[in-house]
Structure 1
């Protein structure tokens, strides 16, 4: 089932056939190091995969959901997008792509459409995104749409994060 589409991408629920690509997205150092994400044990990755394949849209406004990103009309999982809730109880977006799909503009395309989804489907007034300040690729993407809000040391990940924020009224004024 397609949840939403962009110009070149389809966002869908991850299915059991996506396991190998999901493992790559959760374990490849070039993907997880810039996030940063600690290396996960294989059994933890499998547990997360099982959780992701069981998500439904119902808990979205209160919890989190992770969906698969696919090129339109294709069945190969190329990335993940996440709708989360941060410690300030604001909705947060996140994404990651397999390395062979970097540099194609997919991050920008997905981010723009995730923001639209948050404001139109979830009817949110504010959307946030956190990024390790050393993750230059994601910083460049987020700065196209969001305003820097604060920087803080993320003890869990051992890095300095920057939180970006976007208000619905600012988004609508740019459209």
Structure 2
């Protein structure tokens, strides 16, 4: 699945992931600090199965992988969208650590909301580690509400996080 056309905001735009973005993404996702709360492993725990999954990101049929770019042409972070049959879209996002604390995560998620609304989506969902205070605050700021608790593991690693499942309803009826 692809966005097709870039989704633009005031300072950034979201573009479809290309294989040429792989090095930037891997450096960010596998970094111990930057990727701490992602389900992706650190570099030492990447195996062949995971590498093969990376090979398919550009043409993934189940979801859409995107790279966030500053309007000056610099890569900023990543995000993803996975539509569900019930009209909900699950999202994920990651901002490169050199850009933390500047509100870019809020803008990325805002653009995801804009895109899903344009597709007629009913809601967005996101799972966030309870320990990840900045991401929990970001989602609450944008109107997401915690629906239930959960837990996830980092791929191929003995690291588990308790989590919150958040939802933002895009319809007035909330269903």
TM-score (ref. length: structure 1)? 0.79
Map 1:21-100 → 2, pairs under 5 A: 21-39=24-42, 40-41=45-46, 43=48, 46-55=51-60, 59=61, 63-74=62-73, 76-85=74-83, 90-100=88-98
Q: Residue 20 of structure 1 aligns with which residue?
A: 23
The answer as to 2:7 corresponding to 1:10 is no
Tell me the equivalent position of 1:127: 124
Partners of 2:75 and 2:52 lie apart in 1 by 18
Q: What's 2:166 paired with?
A: 164
String of CA shifts for 1:119-167, please: whole Å, max 9, x gaps.
12x2111211110010111011001121111112336662111011111
Alpha-carbon shift at residue 2 of structure 1 (Å): 4.4
- Offset of 1:38 from its aligned partner? 2.8
Give yes or no for contact 1:93–1:129 (8 Å, CA) kept in 2.
Answer: yes
- Check 1:44–1:27 CA distance in 2 against 1; reply closer, same or farther (3 A cut): farther
Deviation per residue, 1:4-46 (Å, 9 max, x gap): 1111111112234323212212211112212343334165564
Mark the CA change 1:27 to 1:44 in structure 2 (over 3 Å): closer, same or farther.
farther
User: In 2 relative to 1, CA 162–90 (structure 1 residues): closer, same or farther, beyond 3 Å?
Assistant: same
TM-score by length of 2: 0.79
User: Whole-Å Cα distance in 2 between the matches of residues 150 and 166 of structure 1?
Assistant: 13
Aligned to 2:6, what secondary structure does the other structure show? strand
**Structure 1: runs of 5 or more not aligned:** none
Unaligned stretches of 5+ residues in structure 2: none
